[in-house]
Amino acid sequence: MKKLGIICKPGRPETIEILRGLLPWLSEKGCEALVDKAAAYGSGITGYERAEIATAADMVLVLGGDGTMLSASRLVAERGVPILGVNLGSMGFITEINREELYAALENMFSGECDLEDRLMLTAKVYRGGEIAAEYFVLNDVVINKSALARIIDLDAFIHGTYVTTFKADGLIIATPTGSTAYSLSAGGPIIYPTLDSIVLTPICSHTLTNRPIVLPGDFQVRLILKTHSEDVFLTLDGQIGLPLMVNDVIEIEKSAFKTRLSMPCERDYFKVLRNKLKWGER
């Protein structure tokens, strides 16, 4: 491995501390480090634009939390660059490596001893007036929801080309298996094993109690049409980016041609992660 991109959560003092020890170690390994410019600012460490990291890095190291990991996944999605996440946040569900395990994890990554796990991503397209108004790639979820003061919204839903129902709810979450333990879980959706080829639709506070979450094959397309007038409705991607929607906007969500490739800890136990992070099964 010749070039390691390092994406960091800005403003964390421990990040610079980690980098000051890590960069000489990487240099001894013959690996060039491309540090995120925003994180390197003011530290004396040479920084690079994220676009440059996306095109040049052979692997990406994320120092931060799950939000930083989601940003990195979208950054390198088209190239399928492996990502190793080190948790400096609170939950750290997809940044599974602890700070103390960083060097051992990198050694294993360099030697090829640990597995790479491909995670399904989604492509979301917004059509307005028959034209594509926006297109996004996401690792966790696509969410359509209303503002705090708006009334419930109506969404005509078509799955794999067939009309299914009109959701009357505060919103709708379309999540990947990776995203099934995020917002979808909070809204009552199921936990889906992260390597499955599937997606889940989870209504948010549905006005119709029979509208329950549904798990679909990964190759099914979900097509939604916003039918609500005069309400503030938003499309949010991975909880980080998005845009306001208008009546009759069409949102098409389907499995992306790209996947996020995660470097997993050796001897990793997903069910242990559920127990430790989500307190799964505790009484």
Question: Which residue blocks in 129-197 are alpha helix, DSSP H?
Answer: 183-186
Question: Which residue blocks in the chain are alpha helix, DSSP H?
Answer: 13-28, 37-40, 50-56, 66-75, 102-111, 183-186, 270-278
Residue 115 annotated among the catalytic residues of the structure? no
CB 107 within 8 A of CB 84: no
Go through 176-197 and write b for each residue having 16 or more CB atoms within 10 A of its CB, e for each that does not: bbbbbbbbbbebebeebebeee
Determine which one of 66, 141, 154, 238 is catalytic: 66
d(CA 40, CA 80): 25
DSSP state of 58: S
Amino acid at the residue 129:
G
Token representation of residue 205: 């506070």
Sign of CA dihedral 31, 36, 39, 42: positive
d(CA 197, CA 269): 20
Residues with catalytic annotation? 66
